[in-house]
Structure formats: C-alpha cells, structure tokens
Amino acid sequence: MTPMIDIVFLLLIFFVCASAGQIRESLLATELAAGDVQSEEPLQREPPLLGQLWLHLRRRPDQRTVVEFNNPEYGRTFDDFDRLQVRLQELASIAREIPVILDIEPDVPMGDMIRVYDICRGADFETIQFATEAAGPGNSPP
C-alpha cells in the first residue's frame, strides 16, 4: 500500500510542476464572438482610398459574369476575361503596388472568381484582397 501512495504523490508532483509553466488560457487577449450578432444599422463602407482598384464581379441575367472597375478611366465594364487580362497587365506595368480588391456578389460562380483572381496574380499585382461585406446601394465603391 505504501509504494502505491508514493507513486500517486510522485505523479501529483509531476503534473503540478508540468502545468506551472503554461500561460493560462483566460489570460490571452482574444475575444471570441458568442454567436450571431447583427447591428441594427447597416454597415457604412468607407470610400476606397486613392489608388485602390476595386473589381466588382456580378452576374448578368444572361448568366455571364461581368467585372466592373471602380474608376471609369480604366475602362468601366468587362464581360470578356481576355480584355480584362490585357487591361490589368497594363495597369500592373504602370503601378503594381496598387491594391486590388475583389468585391464578389454571391451568385458569381466560383470558377469565374478564381479566374479573375488568377488574372490579377498573373498581372503581378503585389496585393490582392477580398471585400467581406456586400456593397449596398449607398456604400459601393466609386
């Protein structure tokens, strides 16, 4: 009986010493959402900074994906990915540090989204990001 009590005490000392050097999880500075939280007011999107290239992908009624630029001087709407690729390569050759932001509507097929992303990567832009909030009527990029 005595050897078994010694082993239990040794195990107890081992686990106390092994756990003493760890950071307690309650001390970490992370706050997780407790569930689905929605605001009563719609989120107002800030206008994009100068030099950002917003590409808005949407689906037309004839089931074609259209890419719209935020700046009319770049060429406003593209429904042909080859023309889009040429235009993005021209823009990247001028200033590849311009951040590209892809604003994709939910009905756009994943293949079209990946193709536009690949075109942006192939044009050698430094930063390609995805918009996380749907652009509404009052808060779409210019």
**Are the beta carbons of 130 and 102 closer than 8 angstroms?**
yes
- Kindly report which listed range (13-22, 73-82, 91-100, 109-118) carries the lowest average pLDDT score: 73-82
- Three-state DSSP at 69 gives strand
The overall pTM is greater than 0.85? no
Instruction: Kindly report, residue by residue over 98-116, the tens digit of the pLDDT.
Output: 888 888 888 888 888 888 8
Q: Sign of the CA dihedral 79, 64, 48, 85?
A: negative
Half-sphere exposure of 104 (CA within 13 A, CB side): 18
Instruction: Kindly report, residue by residue over 20-59, the tens digit of the pLDDT.
Output: 766 565 555 555 566 665 666 665 655 444 478 888 888 8
CATH class of 53-130: alpha beta
User: How many angstroms separate the CA atoms of 67 and 85, rounded?
Assistant: 11
63 pLDDT band, cuts 50/70/90, is confident
Task: Give the start-to-end residue ranges of the domains of the chain.
Answer: 53-130
